[in-house]
Amino acid sequence: MFYHSTRNKALKVTSAEAIAQGISADGGLFVPESIPEMTAEDFENLKGLSYAERAARIFKLYLTDFTDEELRECTKNAYESGSFETPAVQEIAELADGSMLLELWHGPTCAFKDMALQILPHFLTRSIKKTGIDREVVILTATSGDTGKAALAGFQDVPGTKIMVFYPEDGVSSMQKRQMQTQEGENVRVCAVKGNFDDCQNGVKAIFTDPAMQEALAANGMQFSSANSINWGRLVPQIVYYVSAYVTMLEKGILENGQRFCVTVPTGNFGNILAAWYAKQMGVPIQHLVCASNINNVLTDFIRTGVYDRSRTFHATVSPSMDILISSNLERLLYHMTGEDDAQIREWFGALKTEGRYQISIELRNRIQAEFSGSFWDDAQTKETIGKVFAENGYLSDTHTAVGIAAARDYQAKASEKYPMLIASTANPYKFGAAVLEAIGGTADGADEYAVLDLLQAKSGMKIPAALADLKTKTVRFTEVTAQDQMDAYVREKLGIQ
């Protein structure tokens, strides 16, 4: 299996090259030349296997230049080394209304990003070796909160790698900030940026694609790669959990063989929901995908109108990991859905850069609407949903997951035909403790992030995850703040290059 760039179909690279490079030099994203299909028998064969074993089998379909042993080693390191608190890695919880929550946050940083970022370092170091380049990998990451910590945890002290994370100074929760500032490891750096997530992301992209910077790196035996969901090595592990969830639902008798179900995903960058779409293309019987957003509702508008317009006010919300106005992974969906029309992708994404908007045809918009619906929910509705779900089920959901639950309920209420609903649950509620506490009738007034943990435990009865409780005793290591136009200088200084 080879990979093309969404902006140059003629480009053909192996999966190792795609993962090592992160983003194509033409600015496009790497996409598989075809999407592998799985049969009922293939799903049947995954029954009874551990998550790590299932993952290795599914990776084999996409990462064909890796050996079975290599893939099994990677999945063992990621999912069977004790970093996930439940042996099943992912869990499925059922609510009283029959909908199911796919809990993806049992990893070391309490957010779904661990599902991919615990394995990406293993893919990446092997990919670098395979491509025959003996260079140190420098991971540059822009984060709206959760990616940063999960990437830091995944890459911490991985030989042959360095990682630098940039986050918006006022755009992450205090717990997320704490998690990053206290990160341990000799190869890690964390820096706040004056601006929002998109400023961080644009800063990182500019550094990434700057030929002078790339030359300086190469002269020092280094090369950049990305841990953002633009990297194929980040996206393919996300496909795995939708396939695995289907198999688990078959095992548990929640679904019958081939029974269709819907999936709702709280999303910002369109990464997690795109992974579900790939799973659908592979043969997982997904009827419809619901794209749930907060009031940064650029995706809802896009799905409804076919116009992607980033020129709008950026809102900081209680679901900060979805405070995003540029949904990078939409480029992959549009590439596949236009029949791999790379010229069209260049035009649209060129327009997005220069004019802040692009418009697809009505015909394509209709095809997208046949597969996706979108809705958005403000902070008051998000908190109301957390409160309702807690009152009805005794189940505590985080702010992002609550956006998903609100969207799923709205979709189900309006749908003419009902299908079982699986909702991606993307973070442990303690990660966004203050908002969750208020949502269930508590007050976080004046309490610091640790006091909030205790208050939430007393009010909800749910246990504080050890990974967050332990932060209190850790030293704050990284407090630097930089302007967006100084990120370049920061990177050069910390890498010791001119």
Ligand X SMILES: *Cc1c(COP(=O)(O)O)cnc(C)c1O
268 contacts ligand X (rule: CB under 6 A):
yes
Measured CA to CA, the distance from residue 116 to residue 270 in angstroms comes to 15
- Applying CB under 6 A, the span of 7-15, 35-43, 65-73, 271-279 interacting with ligand X comes to 271-279
By beta-carbon proximity to ligand X, the closer residue of 229 and 375 is 229
266 binds ligand X (CB under 6 A): yes
Q: How far apart are CA 63 and CA 317, in angstroms?
A: 37
Question: Nearest distance from residue 221's CB to ligand X, in Å?
Answer: 32
Calpha distance 431→464 (Å, rounded):
10
> Are residues 223 and 198 in contact, defined by beta-carbon separation less than 8 angstroms?
no
Q: Does 229 bind ligand X (CB under 6 A)?
A: yes
Pairing type for strands 161-168 and 188-194 reads parallel
233 touching ligand X, by CB under 6 A: no
CB of 251 to ligand X, least distance (A): 26
Closer residue to ligand X (CB): 141 or 269: 269
Q: Which is nearer to ligand X, 57 or 280 (CB)?
A: 280
What are residue 168's DSSP bridge partners?
Answer: 193
Residue 374 sits in the site that holds ligand X (CB under 6 A): no
Stretch that binds ligand X, among 74-82, 122-130, 249-257, 264-272 (CB under 6 A): 264-272
Could you tell me where the beta strands, DSSP code E, fall in 199-339? 222-226, 261-266, 286-293, 307-309
Is 427 among the residues that bind ligand X (CB under 6 A)? Answer: yes
Q: Which residues of 313-334 are buried (b: 16+ CB within 10 A; e: fewer)?
A: ebebbbbbbbbbbbbbbbbbbb
Choice from 239, 400, 423, 453 touching ligand X (CB under 6 A): 400
Which range in 14-22, 200-208, 266-274, 437-445 contacts ligand X by CB under 6 A?
266-274
CB of 186 to ligand X, least distance (A): 26
Part of the chain binding ligand X (CB under 6 A), chosen from 84-92, 267-275, 339-347, 485-493: 267-275
Q: Is 223 in the site for ligand X (CB under 6 A)?
A: no
Task: Output the smallest distance, CB 111 to ligand X, in A.
Answer: 4
Site string for ligand X, 476-495 (x = CB under 6 A): --------------------
Residue 113 in the binding site for ligand X (CB under 6 A):
yes
* 47 is annotated as an active-site residue: no
> Rule CB under 6 A: is residue 320 a binding residue for ligand X?
no
> According to the binding rule CB under 6 A, does residue 271 interact with ligand X?
yes
Alpha-carbon 323 to chain mean position? 13
Minimum distance of ligand X from residue 290's CB (angstroms):
13
* Exposure string over 340-370, b if 16+ CB within 10 A, otherwise e: ebbebbbebbeebeeeebbebeeeebeebee
End-to-end Cα separation, the chain, in angstroms: 39
Give residues with Cβ within 8 angstroms of 350, minimum separation 6: none
For the chain, the residue count is 498
What is the enclosing helix (H) or strand (E) of 167? strand 161-168
Interatomic CA distance for residues 124 and 116, integer angstroms: 12
**Cα–Cα distance for residue pair 19/2, rounded to 1 Å:** 12
User: Least distance from C-beta 70 to ligand X, angstroms?
Assistant: 26
Of the residues 6, 321, 397, 412, which one makes contact with ligand X according to CB under 6 A = 321
Minimum Å gap between C-beta 41 and ligand X is: 31
201 contributes a contact to ligand X by CB under 6 A: no
**Shortest Å distance, C-beta 312 to ligand X:** 17
Q: Does 111 bind ligand X (CB under 6 A)?
A: yes
196 binding ligand X? (CB under 6 A):
no
Query: CA 10, 11, 12: angle at the middle one, nearest 5?
Result: 110
The one-letter amino acid at 243: V
Q: Where are the beta strands (DSSP E) in 195-320?
A: 222-226, 261-266, 286-293, 307-309
Q: How many residues bind ligand X (CB under 6 A)?
A: 17
Indicate whether 146 belongs to the interface with ligand X (CB under 6 A): yes
> Out of 113, 162, 383, 431, which one is annotated catalytic?
113
The residues binding ligand X (CB under 6 A) are: 111, 113, 146, 229, 266-273, 321-322, 400, 426-427
Catalytic center residues: 113
